[in-house]
Chain A
């Protein structure tokens, strides 16, 4: 049974008088533990697809189910719970909470989940160590480099052991060394923890890490192939 099933997804946006087809009859199956890169030019629908799977936006048409649960039919509250407990997000611009330290950023989601304080602390310290930020736990985002901030964002996304991590251009603002480190980290989490990754990217180096590469254009999937070299 597929972990994630997307069937005939359609989404249009209006920009002035123009109607833009962000998703045009996209059908997709994602297996548990998959490591997928979505590639394509800007406006090809990568981010829209991630948003739809993550329940951040509403479909015009189609179905999305995760482990048999219809995401597109959930109301706002259960959607928020789905994101909170089962999906991790990593954004291009890190999007950490600026007034919280690295550890507190990681703890924040766990606090909302109702994890006890002691366990939150233990888990956040462990995950920050795992992403290579040992000793930097008490620094605020402004005191960290871009790569370090993105690692905090990754730690925040995976600390609750979600089934799925959706990463939107995670390396776009990173130098090549940081980007490589991040992708190594993703691969390790995928291989060691079985987390499913769906990453949108322009970056050819990132695509090389993917087991499966899906190319999109004008809201359509134009190719979907398993990369044997991984």
Chain B
């Protein structure tokens, strides 16, 4: 340890109570920031993951323009073959081809407009949690033909149950009249009221026959194990469709622009709160270091008289601040990590959270995300602001006049 660093370390403990008070402010804010940021990013990961897992998948291959204007005619030719190519190119991912259209569904008593999606029963569980959310009856099977799985709310609205028949009436890809009778084999409860009220799934081959798709589909959903793998998967999928100018690969950002906006809005308000907290800590450091510099005016005057240049004294003050901030950072980071680790294992919840979580299709408990980024981001910014706060006291030393300073009592 250099003499200056040793001097800086000893200086910060000249008034140990004052140093501890300032360090405690840093520790408190660091603990809070570590936990809150980890919780926030954990909840975003969960929100994204749950939303994507429910139906859309992390990526989709679609006909260009389909996302903005989902018409049956915006389709992918030979969709099942392309899905097979994608499975080969993305062996770690799950791939499911789909076709989707709007239809009128009628029971004996009622008629509603719904979205009908043709799916591969064997592939769909890999990209969507709906097959696992069947609460009555069963999900579609490969052998099924004129079978349909509908949302629980739709079943209530249509007053039907498993085994009942429904009539679908729509328009085929070629503009022809599309109609068919399907049997309800199961109902699902996804937790999303929109989907439960207006989504139905049928086997893809039956959909293609009924809606005159001639082997076409409208999308291929791709699911990966984690969000971090999306970029690579997207690049691989783009390679597969390289020679198909009519197709595009969309990641979850494009598929769910509202999700990203909701996260950004939440982040903005959180950053404001964190900013206020960090600025308060910064002022605490400014106060401490300014007092520390002022009460050592005579000492600094003597040191200057000995021939030490002001920039070296300023460096001493900055080193003192850095050491104090490091103490706050180390202790705060450790305690913050402990708190975060506890909730990472046991989950975090508060009264009323379940209702709120349901709106975003989240589970009732949140699990903080422990990554290098979530751990270091808050304390790192606090550290930088502490250094920034010490700049003013340090700059004062450049105006020090040794004779006047040495007269200071």
A-to-B contact residues, CB < 8 Å: 51, 54, 56-57, 77, 80-85, 87, 89, 91, 95, 97-100, 104, 107-109, 111-112, 156
Give which listed residue, A84, A91, A95, contacts B308 with CB less than 8 A: A84
Give 6 A-B contacts (CB < 8 Å), ordered by A residue: A57-B403, A87-B307, A97-B299, A99-B7, A100-B3, A156-B306
Q: Which residue of A lies closest to B405 (CB)?
A: A56
Most chain A CB atoms below 10 A, which of B3, B299, B307: B307
Q: How far is the CA of A56 from the CA of B11 in the complex (A)?
A: 25
Closest chain A CB from B310 CB (angstroms): 8
Query: B residues within 8 A CB of A99?
Result: 7, 10-11, 14
Q: Which residue of B lies closest to A156 (CB)?
A: B306
What 1/0 flags go to B34-61 for Cβ under 8 Å of A?
0000000000000000000000000000
Could you tell me if B308 and A107 are in contact, using CB atoms closer than 8 angstroms? no
Interface of B is mostly: helix
Could you tell me if A80 and B7 are in contact, using CB atoms closer than 8 angstroms? no
Give which listed residue, A104, A107, A109, contacts B306 with CB less than 8 A: A109
Q: How far is the CA of A89 from the CA of B307 in the complex (A)?
A: 10
Most chain B CB atoms below 10 A, which of A82, A98, A156: A98
Q: Which residue of B lies closest to A110 (CB)?
A: B3
Q: A51-B403, A57-B403, A97-B7 are in contact. Are A91 and B307 (CB under 8 A)?
A: no
Closest chain B CB from A102 CB (angstroms): 13
Could you tell me if A89 and B305 are in contact, using CB atoms closer than 8 angstroms? yes
Which residues of chain B in 257-315 are interfacial with respect to chain A, using CB atoms and an 8 Å cutoff?
A: 298-299, 302-309, 312
Closest chain A CB from B324 CB (angstroms): 15
What 1/0 flags go to B1-35 for Cβ under 8 Å of A?
01110110011001000000000000000000000
Query: B residues within 8 A CB of A91?
Result: 302, 406
Give which listed residue, A77, A82, A97, A104, contacts B303 with CB less than 8 A: A97
Q: How far is the CA of A97 from the CA of B406 in the complex (A)?
A: 13
Q: How far is the CA of A98 from the CA of B10 in the complex (A)?
A: 10
Give which listed residue, B2, B6, B305, B309, contacts A54 with CB less than 8 A: B305
Known: A89-B305, A100-B10, A111-B3. 16 other contacts (CB 8 A): A51-B403, A56-B305, A56-B403, A80-B309, A85-B307, A87-B307, A89-B306, A95-B298, A97-B299, A98-B14, A99-B7, A99-B14, A100-B3, A109-B306, A111-B2, A112-B312
Q: Which residue of B lies closest to A100 (CB)?
A: B7
Could you tell me if A80 and B303 are in contact, using CB atoms closer than 8 angstroms? no
Query: A residues within 8 A CB of B7?
Result: 97, 99-100, 104, 108
Query: B residues within 8 A CB of A156?
Result: 306
Judge if B215 is at the interface, Cβ distance under 8 Å: no
Q: How far is the CA of A58 from the CA of B304 in the complex (A)?
A: 15
Could you tell me if B305 and A107 are in contact, using CB atoms closer than 8 angstroms? no
Could you tell me if A104 and B6 are in contact, using CB atoms closer than 8 angstroms? yes
